[in-house]
Amino acid sequence: GTAATAAAFKPPPMGFSSWNKFGMGITVPELVEVAEAFASRGLQAAGYLYMCSDDGWMELNRSSDTDLQVPTAAYMNGTYTTLRSVCDALHARGFKCGIYTAAGTTTCGVRAGSLYNERLDAAHYAASGVDYIKYDGCGEANLQHYAKDSAMYNAVRQAYASTPKGAIDYFS
């Protein structure tokens, strides 16, 4: 009956996406402040767990030495040093860490996208403790969108299979 149905029900991922409030200008301290506000207002207890950094968190170009997407200095705000430290700060508060990337070589905001770097990015997100990936369909588009989605999905699945969690929470 009802108890079995309630136990089987898994709510959709709920939380905060920085895009609607901050656009391209999110910083980690602002994201942590939002998380703390969710906690103090009871939203965390109600299941709003995902704190997602949308477009604008990364530089225009990839790192010249690692080819990774690099967080902007403004996003890190001198307090955080790596994507892992961002996720750790959110996890320490009981939240999940979400990140944005795009299916093109650029994002909608003309930052470094994931096209041709799907495995590298997925491995970096997995190692950093990212729980949610928003994979946008914009940016430079010289391949069919479904082909890009498949490449990233497979890369994410493989990268997260070797983590203690075994899988990412959510990929959209």
pTM of the model: 0.88
Beta strands across the sheet bearing 170-171: 14-17, 48-53, 96-102, 132-136, 170-171
**CA dist 12 → 6, 106, 170 (Å):** 14, 28, 9
| pLDDT score for 93 | 98
| pLDDT score for 65 | 84
| pLDDT score for 97 | 97
| pLDDT score for 154 | 86
| pLDDT mean by block of 10 residues, the chain; 172 residues | 62 93 95 98 97 95 88 92 95 97 89 89 94 86 59 85 82 80
Contact call for residues 128 and 83 (beta carbons, < 8 A): yes
* Runs of H (alpha helix) within 9-144: 19-22, 28-40, 73-76, 83-92, 118-128
